[in-house]
Structure 1
């Protein structure tokens, strides 16, 4: 059975007993069918004497009830902003234990403004409690009076469904970072993620290429869990790609000083730091197999063994894992543990690349402009022709955005920083696009793209992938041939054997000319 805890304001008029003998903060403890394990009374310094008097009287009549006094100074108890702020801070710092205690807010005492604030905070689940309303006995009747408990489970009331929809929208906005995204698949994923995060403590797996926002999303998932009171601890972000060998074990699980030569003290480890909160293992696909085994044990049991320790340490945390590669493929290659993958794969969310969300590029550009305004202290906007040109480039299917949102963010920030008088002009956009394409061509891991970019520079980015493979093959043949004719004979050997090729060199010359190339250039 959970213990009943009642929280309320000291009644400076009713509890003083000036008008009648019934005092709500005293009599609320005298209902035999509502035993109270702890009474929390909020009062100001001015009423400390009355608060201590009420506490003594309650304890004398009900020795099993603990009375705790909270001194909160509120200059004007009828000021809604001041009252709500003070009560909100009280709720955040309280430390509710829903598993062991049943909380009730006493509405009878305090100003009407305080009662409204109690209701709002309880309805929003900032205070996980039911409402208690007490009243004096009727007529000449003796006894503790009346007591009514109201459960604000608003899901029971269909008329309030709109309110729930609004709250859901607010949480979705939180997960999307305040960006009004339009991509249907992404929005559906966020809706599903909000439901899972609010109702499940199981691990979450975020899959997506670099720059798709896994780290930012993990941080927002933590904020949502915190608001929904599913966690109380901190957010611990671990980049697994930086952890190698014994250092990985020590960083994650901690160590006893005798286990590490030269260590001056014990180390707690990041799993211990995440106790009660969220552990985000970014790039978990880079973690070693031994570390994966210990992570699995810690997730399933809440316990792990620090290096050099003879006994296990307890840490309960919510796990969010991020990966840039397909874990199922790594399992098949024996590079990732199948049992850990099975544990992580309960809730998997694949973050789409920026090029797969063209309708979300404009909202993200607007978001970046707002963020740059806060960073630089001045508003930057596009000229009309500049915005058209940049939008056309950004949403073009041939624009790959290999770094995804990191590339877009960096591009917008560069133009904003260099913008004269807060205006991004068409020449600035053209210069930025050319610089981006040069960078992408140099950084491309595609050997065909690297080869073509060597000769065509930024123009290589505008060649279709279909033509790219063929052109790269032609250039390689030219590089390894003694003459244009020799290259043509090799490239068109099948046509010549079928007697359908008459002038191999001319065919090759015309093909290269389509791309502004010739055999001599390729040969060099």
Structure 2
């Protein structure tokens, strides 16, 4: 069995007694805790004030007499006013944050019989908020025939409706969690702030998978890490944060990277590999761009979520991993399900807690606070503080918040822009000239639509020429070239011929009684003398 750890206050009145045998006829809550046959106390963290040091040592000695296996640690905590809610809550919160809890290895009981009523209420609130990751414990005296010295113990509930001041402090603690998820940025977009408040509640109350949707650069990865850090602070996870971009996992290597493999499972498997799922045990696994995973990997991910078990490549025995999944995607997974590119059962499992992060252009009121945040990040990285001249800041914000500011890369664009201006800032001040140069740079980047399309078309033409040769490409009509270029692009993004076929024929395949998309795609490529393997290479 796991050790039981009790945390509670020394009772300056209830735990006090005169020296002598008669003290064993009196109920003393802290000593009585360690006298129950059905309550094993392996360690007692006894909080006391400096003026009660002697009583605390006396109680520890008596506990050693009745329960020598109980380790008693005296924790001195002084209050200027033990009836001041704010002081007591604040110091107990500091105690909880500093204490090295290990919920995976120990069970915790929070004893709220002793101490002032204020202390008892604060212990309750900290337990409800998971800063103290344990169960509440109350003790009370019993009749002499039942053993007066030991008393009784039980779980309790409290009515906190009349404690408005501490309820306000508790609400402030929840707001602190939301601010933490936003990296302390005072965001002004109402919809985004409501979403973050919901995420904060889900993060501390649920271990179900979460799905973060939104365009590239909207901050999914950063938010996932903040969710992990918040859950770790609330003692909900103890393992690591493991992040992987699923778009980088291809072919057989995807299975090995995610689920691990056994030595000799395939050519090149010179040693066992634990895989990302096992590495994330007791922690959080963030699968960014989960829509890029193949259907086989999706099936195994679903089983690992539901049963906490999976089979490594080349193994004949399953392994376990208890992780929480956060998934990210810039795709519309519902459409991918309809196209047969994403499993509907996995989507249903992920869709319990779905949050869509808006693009930067939809949060223009948040550009100013994020501008200050990026300047702070630059100062941390480079060790140099850079600021704006008043006119320069106004000029940049007028440009950044204008309706025609595209911000195609979202917050990555903003971060890069601030880095460039801060790097070129003369004497540590960003002036109007620096802003004007950055505005021109961004306008070229955003406004080059035709240029980008021309560049993309040129790249596609080069790809086709590399596959077919210049002479064969010249013999194909421009209309057919466009179609062939799109087919090649989809093939190179897909993991298998079947997956590419499903993506290309997603609409027509639903109108046929039977479909062999892979064969249909193979025949199309053969018209131009192309094979799947050659296109992929």
Task: Evaluate the alpha carbon distance shift between residue 113 and residue 68 of structure 1 in structure 2; reply closer, same or farther with a 3 A threshold.
Answer: farther
Alpha-carbon distance in 1 for matches of 2:447, 2:390: 29
| Other-structure match for 1:18 | 19
Instruction: Give the aligned CA root-mean-square deviation in angstroms.
Output: 4.1
Q: Which residue of 1 aligns with 2:249?
A: 243
Aligned positions of 1:258-277 closer than 5 A: 258-277=264-283
Distance 1:444 1:408, change over 3 A: farther
Is the 8 Å Cα contact of residues 172 and 190 (structure 1) preserved in structure 2? yes
**Aligned equivalents of 2:280, 2:450: Cα separation in 1:** 38
Aligned-partner SS, 2:315: coil
Distance 1:131 1:436, change over 3 A: same
Q: Is it true that 1:40 corresponds to 2:43 in the alignment?
A: yes
- 2:58 matches 1:69: no
The corresponding residue for 1:336 is 342
The 5 Å alignment of 1:52-91 reads 54-58=63-67, 67-69=69-71, 78=78, 87-88=95-96, 91=99
Unaligned runs of 5+ in 1: 60-66, 452-524
TM-superposed deviation, 1:256: 0.7
Q: Which residue of 2 aligns with 1:488?
A: none
Structure 2 residue 101 is matched with structure 1 residue 93: yes
- Residue aligning to 1:321: 327
Q: CA offsets, 1:392-430, max 9 Å, x none? A: 110111111111001101111221222222211101100
Describe the shift of the 1:135–1:418 C-alpha distance in structure 2 as closer, same or farther (beyond 3 A): farther
- Contact 1:77–1:113 (CA<8 Å) still a contact in 2? no
2:438 aligned with 1:432, yes or no? yes
Query: Contact 1:4–1:104 (CA<8 Å) still a contact in 2?
Result: no
**Distance change (3 Å), C-alpha of 1:155 and 1:202:** farther
Secondary structure in 2 aligned to 1:41?
Answer: strand
SS in structure 2 at match of 1:257: coil
Q: Give secondary structure in 2 for the equivalent of 1:259.
A: coil
Alignment partners' CA distance in 2, 1:161 and 1:87: 20
Match of 2:6 in 1: 6
Q: Report the Cα offset of residue 231 of structure 1.
A: 2.6
Gaps of 5+ in 2: 48-53, 81-86, 458-537
Spell out the pairing of 1:99-498 with structure 2 (5 A cutoff). 103-105=109-111, 108=114, 121-122=126-127, 124-127=129-132, 128-132=134-138, 143-144=148-149, 151=156, 157=162, 159=164, 160-441=166-447, 447=453
TM-score relative to the length of structure 2: 0.69
Change (3 A) 1:256 1:15: farther
Q: 1:229, 1:50 → 2: CA distance?
A: 30
Output the CA distance in 2 between the equivalents of 1:92 and 1:444. Answer: 58
Alpha carbons of structure 1 residues 436 and 194: separation in structure 2 relative to 1, 3 Å: same
Q: Is the 8 A contact 1:6 1:106 kept in 2?
A: no
Secondary structure of 1:403's counterpart equals coil
Q: Is the 8 A contact 1:5 1:36 kept in 2?
A: no
Contact (CA 8 Å) 1:15, 1:25: kept in 2 or not? no
Distance in 2 (alpha carbons) for counterparts of 1:7 and 1:284: 43
CA-CA distance at 1:173 after TM superposition: 0.9
Instruction: Classify 1:342/1:86 alpha carbon distance in 2 versus 1 (closer, same or farther; 3 Å).
Output: closer
Distance in 1, Cα, partners of 2:126 & 2:224: 26
Could you say if the C-alpha distance between residues 286 and 228 of structure 1 is closer, same or farther in structure 2, counting changes exceeding 3 Å? same
Aligned 8 A contact 2:125 2:170 in 1: no
Change (3 A) 1:219 1:142: closer
Deviations 1:110-134 (A, max 9, x none): x999989967754653222325466
Q: Secondary structure at the match of 1:21?
A: helix
For residues 366 and 282 of structure 1, what CA distance do their matches in structure 2 show? 27
277 and 442 in structure 1: CA distance in 2 versus 1, 3 angstrom threshold: same
Q: How many aligned positions are there? A: 434
Q: Could you tell me the TM-score, scaled by structure 1's length?
A: 0.71
Q: Distance in 2 between matches of 1:411 and 1:403?
A: 11
| C-alpha distance 52-323 of structure 1, shift in aligned 2 (>3 A) | same
Mapped contact 2:141–2:148 kept (Cα < 8 A): no
Q: Which moved more, 1:199-208 or 1:438-447?
A: 438-447
Contact 2:232 2:238 in 1 (8 A): yes
Mapped partners of 2:100, 2:152: distance in 1 = 27
Alpha-carbon distance between aligned partners in 1 of 2:454 and 2:301, rounded to the nearest angstrom:
40
| Residues 181 and 83 (structure 1), Cα distance of their counterparts in 2 relative to 1, 3 Å cut | closer
Q: Which residue of 1 aligns with 2:465?
A: none
Going from structure 1 to structure 2, the CA distance change for 1:442 and 1:94 (only over 3 Å counts) comes to: same
CA shift digits 1:451-479 (9 cap, x unpaired): 9xxxxxxxxxxxxxxxxxxxxxxxxxxxx
